[in-house]
Structure 1
Amino acid sequence: MILSTIGYEAATLPEVIAKLRAAGVEVVVDVRAVAASRRAGFSKSVLRASLAAEGIGYEHLRSLGTPKPGREAARKGRVAEMEAIFAEHMATPEAQDGLALATAIARDRHAALLCFEACAKGCHRRIVAGMIRDATGCDVQDL
């Protein structure tokens, strides 16, 4: 079982879809707190429709997004601060419910966690992927 992660910061929608298809991704799990984007094609409804046209499912799990203070810390390069804020957030019942759903999806289908940052190293999706890996034993690949 493989769980993928992908960021769209430095890519176009066609490039992201091509990577997802090449990896055999069946469903995108959007882990952004706010599923809106100034980048063309990456707002929730347009993204969902574009993925559906390619036979790829879409699930937005807002509860797995980084709270605003964490996003601000990440933008400023303060990854440790973002991680601390996100860890506190992940202890909430809402986040735990989202994690349980994401884990169930990843057990069923090849999923890709989607967020903005191009590099997973400084993104909270790496943390979510690690939690799912711990629960399922899946391999994680960053696309």
Structure 2
Amino acid sequence: MTEATLATIGYENATLPEVIEKLKAAKVEVLIDVRAVAASRRPGFSKTMLSNSLREEGIDYLHLRALGTPKPGREAARKGRIDEMRAIYDEHLADPAAIAELAKAAEVARGRKAALLCYEREAHGCHRRVIAERLAAEGFVAEDL
């Protein structure tokens, strides 16, 4: 099995231009948004504006909503209860919609350099790390931007 790099990025404390610059430096071709709610109070990070801004820079956008963290998992993460968030998210990944979208993420990332996007700056406290760990079984190596 050939290894493929799967980037991850969080936009907490970052501007849209900073995120785009990191994606371009890493040669990311498609951003996979793994937020349950692709809206943000942070300027530029709501779904439509983010998608349009990325397109202008030659980066495709894909929102896989079913890979987002359920509300109880988001609440646990906000309170720093990472083990609880991971347990909630592991259970969520057994849902048929999440299984299908995890397979879609792998399919997309096999064909083009991809990055998983969520809010949290540090990947270790975010569900995108859980996704990357799951995809490691399919030959992906995570690169946290």
TM-score by length of 1: 0.98
Deviations 1:38-69 (A, max 9, x none): 00000000000000000000000000000000
How many residues get paired? Answer: 142
Q: Does 1:70 align with 2:62?
A: no
Deviations 1:50-100 (A, max 9, x none): 000000000000000000000000000000110111011000101000101
Q: Does 1:132 align with 2:139?
A: no
Q: CA deviation at 1:10?
A: 1.3
Gaps of 5+ in 2: none
Q: CA deviation at 1:138?
A: 2.2
Aligned-residue CA RMSD (Å): 0.6
Q: Does 1:41 align with 2:44?
A: yes
Q: Does 1:61 align with 2:70?
A: no
Aligned position for 1:107: 110
Structure 1 consecutive aligned stretches of length 4 or more whose deviation exceeds 3 Å: none
Q: Does 1:93 align with 2:96?
A: yes
Question: What is the percent sequence identity of the aligned residues?
Answer: 63
Aligned position for 1:20: 23
Q: CA deviation at 1:2?
A: 1.1
Deviations 1:91-115 (A, max 9, x none): 0101000101001011110000000
Q: CA deviation at 1:126?
A: 0.2
Aligned position for 2:84: 81
1:47 alignment partner, SS class: helix
Aligned position for 1:119: 122
Which amino acid in 2 is paired with 1:94? Answer: A
